[in-house]
Amino acid sequence: MGLFRFIFSKTFLIQLVLAVIILIVLAFFAMQWLDYSTNQDQRIEVPDLAKLNLDVVEDKLDELELDYEILDSANFNPDYPRYSVIDQVPAPGKFVKEDRKIYLTLNPSGYRKIKIPENLIRKTRRQVEPTLRSLGFKIGEISYKPDIAQDAVLELRHNGKTVNAGDELMKTSTIDLILGDDSGKYTKKNEDPDNQNTESEIDEF
């Protein structure tokens, strides 16, 4: 009976009310601390970093108290400066908290190099051109040389130099094709002492 009377006594009710008030106050301060520690009310707009180099990017993000991390480089894009930002996550205009990392993809210094495939020599122009284009090369000048085959690829050249199978050229490089003309002849030029060229034709059998 003593416990029952104490529960319904004025003293117990006052203590209960005080305990509830203390719990509410503690909960309020706990929520305020969580809001402060997690920056719930802080919203920083992500800037557009496209085409900027890392020095400029670092200055911009430092001002906003943001961090960054570089991802692997993408394929070279000629519309963007070398080593500039080509993509970013989060995207420009998004809102983030302080110290949030912005993930950056950079434009490499140039196109990657690609090996010249084997077995192109003596194939037809119709076979070789699509192969080279599919690898990212451009077809340049087409010239002919006396040979028994019509349009057979006799030689590949880049900037005037012969290109062989296994050689590496930068993607989008221009490759000139030397083709056979089906004449069965070739022209040999000899330089005379007066720097005048004389030509002689020799039949091939």
Asked whether 167 and 192 are in contact (CB, 8 A), the reply is no
189, pLDDT greater than 80: no
pLDDT of residue 12: 67
Lowest mean pLDDT among 35-39, 57-61, 201-205: 201-205
147, pLDDT greater than 70: yes
pLDDT in tens, 61-115: 999 999 999 987 678 888 899 889 999 999 999 999 888 999 999 998 888 889 9
pLDDT of residue 7: 61
* CATH numbers and ranges of domains, the chain: 44-106 (3.30.10.20), 113-203 (3.30.10.20)
**Predicted TM-score (pTM) of this structure:** 0.52
What is the residue-averaged pLDDT of the chain? 83
pLDDT of residue 184: 74
pLDDT of residue 8: 62
Residues above pLDDT 90, as percent of the chain: 55
